[in-house]
A and B are shown apart, each in its own frame.
Chain A
């Protein structure tokens, strides 16, 4: 299982052709207290870089983009009643959606964990 990151601070944890997507702890800290998460419908077909979800913090709404092309297999229903899970556990319990990845080549343009850490320090 490997984790990849985007420049927009999403992560995708990949096992075979299934990816679980969330936002990084860096992004969660920047957003502040999350009060609502709008998740996509099951079966939605996504283009790489397309809006996947909307995260509402106390101060603003922010889009979350799909790191890869694929189809939504499931969404994290915990976020409906406990959106703060995104802040409490951004890398784990605060995941957003599970996607079946349609083109594994999409992963090649993403960053590794080390590359992403360097990216965050640089930005």
Chain B
């Protein structure tokens, strides 16, 4: 796609004025990194606070004509494995949009609004590369009387991540301090700018995702950048941060052929939703994959040497038989060594299992390790 066909977020000019190296990503012209470079941006996010433009992601609301939360929750529960009807106002969950075969169409954040008069609504954030397809799929599958309101043309999304994020944002509104991980509030951040602030992110750090009106996002970003602990962070470091946190990247670690069970996302499926009487899309596959211990599983991998194993690297057992492939791999700036994730036959998923990685025709020793590679810092009170 020629660059001039690429979409731009409302922060495009700010990226350019911060010397971003721009790359095409999911149809958008997005910052890969800024002057600091990927390594330093990564470490800055782990030690201070990193500001990410994630406005390319899809935002939408679901609501019911009868203003009933339960109607909306039930409608979405037909498409995802997570339980939503028990979600309290101002709380959110991570889940996956499934096809009829239990493959992952996309992974997404689902929040119930906590704002008075809006508590019947669900707020969804989906991946940029899949948003049009997601919106179409949801729309097609919603029952009569439940609606989708796509907010892509009106809302931007930024993310502030890292140990300093809480103090910085609390400076704009003190009520944010007590917000717990996977909770949200709708609050003024300046006398004129209201934000939907959720304590979440995709770096493993304590942090926030802030949805604001398109017309407010530049002002808000400029206010945040006045703080000397805040640096703009590009997609390069976003990828290495999420890998250290053991989080899946859609299109790389998960796709339409992979079930949430294979991807190690069983933690996001409540026990009540693993029962055979459940009736959501792909539930048969979910239950079958839980029972089949030999179905493939996404595992953390630690190569023994210094050579990074990139996506596509063949994984072998000790006898040289292929047992899987690396789906995400690179260098961990925090640990100073290579790390990877990949799928192996279920027999090899146990932490400590020795495996080999075939890198440039050489067999390199590695082992299965637990994820996250770097412990997460989510704020749970």
Contacts of B240 on A, CB cut-off 8 Å? 58
Across the interface, do B306 and A36 meet the contact criterion of CB distance under 8 Å?
yes
User: With A and B bound together, what is the CA distance between A54 and B360 in angstroms?
Assistant: 10
Cβ of B331 and Cβ of A56 under 8 Å apart? yes
Q: Decide: A33 near B307, CB < 8 A? Known: A58-B240, A58-B330, A58-B333.
A: no
| Interface: A1 (CB within 8 A) | no
Is B310 an interface residue, CB under 8 A from the partner?
A: yes
Whether, in the assembled complex, A35 has its beta carbon less than 8 Å from a beta carbon of chain B, the answer is yes
Docked Cα-Cα span, A32 to B23, in Å, equals 14
B38 close to chain A: CB less than 8 A: yes
Closest chain B CB from A84 CB (angstroms) = 9
> How many residues of A are counted as interface, with CB atoms below 8 angstroms from the partner's CB atoms?
12
A56, B39: Cβ atoms closer than 8 Å: no
Q: Is A60 an interface residue when CB atoms closer than 8 A count as contact?
A: yes
Contact with A along B222-263 (1 / 0, CB 8 A): 000000000000001001100000000000000000000000
**A17-B33 Cα distance, complex, nearest whole Å:** 41
What residues of A have a CB within 8 angstroms of the CB of B307 in the complex? 36, 38, 56
- Tell whether A58 pairs with B310 under 8 Å between CB atoms, given A32-B236, A35-B331: no
* Contact among A32, A33, A35 with B308 in the assembled complex (CB-CB below 8 Å): A35
How far does the alpha carbon of A97 sit from the alpha carbon of B330 in the complex, in Å?
25
Residue from A33, A38, A60 within 8 A of B310 (CB atoms): A60
Q: Do the beta carbons of A58 and B331 come within 8 Å of each other?
A: yes
Report B306 CB to chain A, min CB distance, Å: 5
- CB-CB under 8 A for A56 and B308, given A32-B37, A35-B331: yes
Count of residues in B whose CB is under 8 Å from the partner chain: 19
Q: How far is the CA of A32 from the CA of B33 in the complex (A)?
A: 10
Chain B residues engaging chain A, CB cutoff 8 angstroms: 32-33, 37-40, 42, 236, 239-240, 306-308, 310, 330-331, 333, 338, 360
Residues of A within 8 A of B33 (CB): 32
Bound together, the chains give a CA A38 to CA B308 distance in angstroms of: 11
Residues A58 and B38 in contact, CB atoms below 8 Å apart? yes
A36 to B33, CA, bound (A): 20
Q: How far is the CA of A61 from the CA of B239 in the complex (A)?
A: 16
A54 vs B286: C-alpha distance when bound (angstroms): 41
**Chain B residues near A56 (CB, 8 Å)?**
307-308, 331
The listed residue (A33, A38, A60) touching B37 by CB distance below 8 A is A33
- Per-position contact with B for A50-75: 1 when CB-CB < 8 Å, else 0? 00001011111100000000000000
In the complex, which of the residues A32, A33, A58, A59 has the most CB atoms of chain B within 10 Å of its own CB atom? A58
Q: Which 4 A-B pairs have the closest CB atoms?
A: A33-B39, A35-B331, A58-B38, A56-B308
Give me 8 other A-B pairs in contact (C-beta within 8 A), A32-B38, A56-B308 excluded: A32-B33, A35-B39, A36-B307, A58-B42, A58-B236, A58-B333, A59-B330, A61-B308
Q: Which residues of B contact A32 (CB under 8 A)?
A: 33, 37-39, 236
Shortest CB distance B297–A (Å): 26
Taking CB as reference atom, which chain B residue is nearest A58? Answer: B38
Q: Is the Cβ of B360 less than 8 Å from the Cβ of A33?
A: no
